[in-house]
Amino acid sequence: MTGYQQALGVILDAARPLAAEPCRTVDALGRITAGPVTSNEDLPPFDNSAMDGFALHAGGQTLAAGTSFEVAGSQSAGDAHQRAGSGAWEIMTGARMPDGLDTVVPVEQVEILQRDAGGRPSRIQLTVDVEPGRHVRKRGEDVRRDATIMAAGTLMQAQHLMLLAGLGISEVAVVRRPRVALINTGRELVDDPAQPLASGQIRNSNGPFLATRLAAAGAELVYRQTVNDEPQAFHAALAAARQAGAEVVISTGAVSMGRHDFIPDALRVIGAEIGFHKVKIRPGRPLLFARLVDGMLFFGLPGNPVSSAVGLRFFVEPALRKMLGLPPERPLRLPLAQDFSKKAGLRFHLKGQVHCDAGGRLQARVLQGQESFRIQPMLASNAWVVVDEDVASLQAGELVDVHGPGHLQAVSISAGPDEILLPEEA
């Protein structure tokens, strides 16, 4: 049987980085930059006031408390540049500094000595010493024109869109999303939640989960189909996936030892090159990886819900990462909350929970209910705890590898070691 690292090597050899495509900034959430992004503008675009107050000329000297100034003009946010001349200018937060002025004193730090007929300040006096350059946000202080603002391989989130918007960058080069097809196999599966179950039927829970996770992993789901256990139906779905432009095909079910586990043979008859079948892991041992004749990558994930989740997270997602131009993931290393023992010779991927101990330090816990058919414990899980093949037991406090729920989703931290809601307690 293939070890996990060896299997990963086979997958990464087969996966190829994808090309860049332009993307409107407004649509760039969750996309990955294909190259460095450079600013064409200064941010802020001009020197401006950080406070509501009065703009002054200090010329490098501290202005002493008690100094008084005529108020020569007023400048609000949005006003174009003006020449200041002598005296102070009333100024609002964000307003462009009048030419010749270099310092702002907040309105709270002046006494208004006189007002004009309209009630506006016409003469002021400083109540504190004012350092030169105070409360002025300089042109380009945040970002200089021609500066690199993002490296290649940056996952764009709201803050990236804010900076791009702030710099007037309306389009970015992103890595094209890997196009993925999902085929759920099994004559027992019912897709429509409104349809009552006939005897022997179950609901297709893997389909919605995998579709959701694929989107979160940066892929585009171009085709999805549920098929029975007939190779013809599977071959038809494969053809439709190809037609839809899929470059990765994921199936669930029918990869183990049963009479209806047709996937390996159905792949062989169409000339697929099987990279591996069965990996030294739990859950998800019967997992299969193949390359189809046209170069499509094929992942045959086992049908049990958690096995399919592990297959996606630890086999498909590394391939997507490579296609997206991202480096391999580095797990967190966190102390284990409890003693844990397992079968040596298999790498375990466990429903885990990261939380803070009583002292506020992070810990990782292996949840109860690890069987691969059990979905409910996944609701208490915010991370995957991974224990390597050669390890048989770990003591509380030893470090373990912890992975987020998806390769683009960091571990979120639970407030406390919430017990999972077990069926008998529900």
C-beta closer to ligand LQZAQKY5: residue 134 or 213: 213
Question: 140 phi and psi, to 5 degrees?
Answer: 75, 10
Taking CB within 5 to 8 Å according to partner kind, which of ligand LQZAQKY5, ligand MOO, none is near residue 336?
none
Q: Which two tokens stand for residue 409?
A: 């989703």
- For the beta carbon of residue 108, count every other beta carbon within 10 angstroms: 10
> Is 284 a binder of ligand MOO (CB under 6 A)?
yes
Cβ(25)–Cβ(169) below 8 Å: yes
Contacts of 209 (CB under 8 A, 6+ apart): 305, 308, 309
Q: What is the largest CA-CA distance in the chain?
A: 96
Residues in the chain, overall count = 426
> Is 205 a binder of ligand LQZAQKY5 (CB under 6 A)?
yes
C-beta closer to ligand MOO: residue 280 or 285: 285
Of 52, 70, 188, 388, the one binding ligand LQZAQKY5 by CB under 6 A: 188
Of 47, 247, 261, 401, the one binding ligand LQZAQKY5 by CB under 6 A: 261
C-beta closer to ligand LQZAQKY5: residue 97 or 238: 238
The angle at the Cα of 353, spanning 347 to 354, to the nearest 5 degrees, equals 105
Within residues 286-305, the interface with ligand MOO by CB under 6 A covers: 302, 304
What is the number of H-type helices and E-type strands within the chain? 7, 28
**Closest of 256, 236, 232, 229 to residue 181, by C-alpha:** 236
Window contacting ligand LQZAQKY5 (CB under 6 A); options: 180-188, 316-324, 354-362, 382-390:
180-188
Q: CA 214 to CA 223: how far, in whole Å?
A: 12
Q: What is the CA radius of gyration of the chain?
A: 31
In a 10 Å sphere around its CB, with 0-12 CB exposed, 13-18 middle and 19+ buried, how is residue 5 labelled?
Answer: exposed
Q: Write down the least CB distance from residue 137 to ligand LQZAQKY5, Å.
A: 55
Taking CB within 5 to 8 Å according to partner kind, which of ligand LQZAQKY5, ligand MOO, none is near residue 254?
ligand LQZAQKY5
Within residues 334-393, the interface with ligand MOO by CB under 6 A covers: 372
What is the pattern of x (binds ligand LQZAQKY5, CB under 6 A) and - over residues 283-302?
Answer: xxxx---------------x
* Bridge partners, residue 420, by sequence: none
Binding site for ligand MOO (CB under 6 A): 282-285, 302, 304, 307, 372
Contacts with ligand LQZAQKY5 by CB under 6 A lie at: 184, 186, 188-189, 202, 204-207, 252-258, 261, 283-286, 302-305, 307, 372
